């Protein structure tokens, strides 16, 4: 179904790398035991009108209460989610919802991280807001930078002090640690070897703080490696390393798709944090974006202060939730409304968290 999937996505107004077959495949391969696939497809004859990539997750609360949640297939490994809709979008989404509401195998639908620019968010807000047990809530913000036409414009748009600090720190780094360069992973070796360097640099910082880090488990590393290899085959992967005297001291795993660059995840060697190597790497990557005529740099989810040294622009993700009408699901909703008033907010968070 790979070709049909991506061809359908190309016809969608929500054509993003986060809904590609390549993004979904590792989530299928590493599906955990408490999860099962629920991928819906709407067709007219042989033509695919829409694809809803979901999974059903079975959860148990303190060993005595279980419930099933429908959520995006790649949830947990992505900053953006959605549904692929091409033609007759309202009708197609309505068909998906009607099908789900006739099922008995779920208690809640939790569509997290839907971008405000998504047609899915627009349809839910305008066409489906009267559905029972329906809620749209604000999610995380996602800062982004429109890439200017020249490097002078790029640097000139920065705060004066920040701009001077970047130049001073770059000179200091080169003076004390050797020649500084931005390199793609091919300069370090194979993709697999470079991904191991990427993992190690990222983990180094978090481990220095006594935290596990994103790549603390082998399964997470395997998911990222498999995804990187799939993206690399389509020329979507951009794995960068900032080097000093040929030693990698910072890294960024980015994704290029439809003239946008997504800063997926980064890492810095804490021994070089005094030089602000994370910001120096961003500067080098943004300069490359200018050269390659990238239109937008997406910092992705999070309100980290460093992002707003580069831009004031951001979009917001939204979380869309439903509760089923069966008695158990209604009991969950009742508990969600009543239990906080008697001091059991933790229970509420467990029931409706995703």
pLDDT of residue 354: 40
Say if residue 153 is in the same domain as residue 287: yes
Percentage of the chain modeled with pLDDT above 70? 90
CA-based angle 51:57:63, to the nearest 5?
A: 170
Q: Does residue 308 belong to any structural domain of this protein?
A: no
Q: Does residue 177 belong to any structural domain of this protein?
A: yes
Q: How far apart are CA 347 and CA 325, in angstroms?
A: 20
pLDDT class of 332 with cuts at 50, 70, 90 = low
Q: Which of 69-73, 105-109, 310-314 has the lowest mean pLDDT?
A: 105-109
Say if residue 26 is in the same domain as residue 110: yes
**Number of structural domains the chain divides into:** 2
pLDDT of residue 132: 65
Count, residues in the chain: 354
Say if residue 6 is in the same domain as residue 81: yes
Say if residue 183 is in the same domain as residue 266: yes
pLDDT class of 125 with cuts at 50, 70, 90 = confident
Higher pLDDT, 28 or 60: 28
Domain that holds residue 27: 2-140+316-352
CA-based angle 15:6:92, to the nearest 5?
A: 70
- Give the chain's end-to-end CA distance (angstroms, integer): 28
Say if residue 215 is in the same domain as residue 169: yes
pLDDT class of 333 with cuts at 50, 70, 90 = low
Reported as a single tens digit per residue, the pLDDT across 144-168 is 999 999 999 999 999 999 999 999 9
Say if residue 17 is in the same domain as residue 124: yes
Q: Does residue 302 belong to any structural domain of this protein?
A: no
pTM for the structure as a whole: 0.90
Say if residue 217 is in the same domain as residue 244: yes
Contacts of 55 (CB under 8 A, 6+ apart): 27, 31, 35, 36, 37, 38, 70, 71, 72, 73, 75
Reported as a single tens digit per residue, the pLDDT across 199-257 is 999 999 889 888 888 999 999 999 999 999 999 999 999 999 999 999 999 999 999 99
Q: Does residue 311 belong to any structural domain of this protein?
A: no
What tokens were used for 50?
Answer: 């829409």
pLDDT of residue 151: 96
pLDDT at 338 over 60: no
pLDDT of residue 250: 98
Q: Does residue 192 belong to any structural domain of this protein?
A: yes
Q: Does residue 123 belong to any structural domain of this protein?
A: yes
Say if residue 331 is in the same domain as residue 217: no
CATH code for the domain of 216: 3.40.630.30
Say if residue 157 is in the same domain as residue 290: yes
234 contacts 22 by C-beta, under 8 angstroms: yes
pLDDT of residue 351: 47
Say if residue 134 is in the same domain as residue 165: no
pLDDT class of 77 with cuts at 50, 70, 90 = confident
Q: Does residue 57 belong to any structural domain of this protein?
A: yes
Q: Does residue 53 belong to any structural domain of this protein?
A: yes
Q: How far apart are CA 171 and CA 179, in angstroms?
A: 10
pLDDT at 96 over 80: yes
pLDDT of residue 348: 46
Reported as a single tens digit per residue, the pLDDT across 250-309 is 999 999 999 999 999 999 999 999 999 999 999 999 999 999 999 999 999 999 999 999
Strands 84-85 and 108-115: unpaired
pLDDT of residue 130: 66
Say if residue 153 is in the same domain as residue 135: no
- Residues 48-70 have a mean pLDDT of 86
18 contacts 74 by C-beta, under 8 angstroms: yes
Say if residue 282 is in the same domain as residue 156: yes
pLDDT at 109 over 60: yes
Q: Which of 239, 299, 252 is nearest to 280 (CA)?
A: 252
Mean pLDDT for the chain overall = 90
Q: Which of 59-73, 256-270, 330-344 has the lowest mean pLDDT?
A: 330-344
- Residues 130-134 have a mean pLDDT of 70
């Amino acid at each position: 179904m790979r070709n049909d999937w991506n061809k359908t996505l190309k016809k969608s107004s929500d054509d993003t790398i986060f809904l590609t077959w390549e993004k979904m495949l590792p989530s299928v391969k590493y599906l955990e035991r408490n999860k099962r696939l629920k991928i819906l497809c709407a067709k007219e004859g042989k033509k695919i009108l829409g694809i809803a990539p979901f999974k059903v997750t079975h959860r148990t609360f303190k060993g005595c209460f279980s419930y099933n949640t429908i959520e995006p297939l790649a949830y947990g490994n992505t900053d953006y989610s959605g549904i692929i809709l091409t033609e007759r979008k309202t009708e197609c989404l309505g068909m998906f919802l009607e099908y789900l509401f006739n099922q008995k195998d779920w208690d809640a639908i939790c569509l997290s991280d839907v971008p405000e620019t998504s047609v899915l968010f627009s349809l839910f807000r305008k066409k489906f807001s009267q559905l029972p047990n329906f809620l749209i809530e604000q999610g995380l913000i996602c800062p982004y930078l429109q890439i200017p036409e020249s490097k002078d414009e790029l640097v000139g748009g920065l705060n004066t002090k920040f701009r001077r600090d970047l130049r001073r720190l770059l000179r200091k780094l080169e003076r004390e640690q050797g020649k500084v360069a931005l390199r793609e992973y091919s300069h370090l070796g194979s993709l697999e070897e470079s991904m191991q360097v990427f993992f190690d640099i990222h983990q180094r910082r978090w481990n220095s703080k006594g935290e596990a880090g994103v790549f603390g488990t082998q399964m997470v590393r395997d998911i990222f490696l498999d995804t990187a290899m799939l993206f690399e085959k389509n020329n979507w992967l951009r794995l960068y390393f900032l080097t000093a005297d040929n030693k990698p001291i910072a890294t960024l795993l980015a994704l290029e798709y439809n003239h946008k660059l997504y800063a997926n995840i980064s890492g810095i060697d804490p021994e070089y944090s005094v030089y602000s190597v994370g910001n120096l790497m961003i500067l080098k990557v943004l300069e490359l974006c200018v050269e390659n005529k990238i239109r937008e740099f997406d910092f992705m989810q999070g309100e980290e202060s460093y992002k707003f040294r580069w831009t004031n622009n951001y979009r917001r993700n939204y979380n869309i939730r439903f509760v089923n009408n069966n008695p158990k699901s209604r009991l969950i909703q009742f508990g969600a409304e009543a239990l906080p008033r008697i001091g059991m907010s933790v229970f509420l968070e467990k029931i409706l968290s995703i």
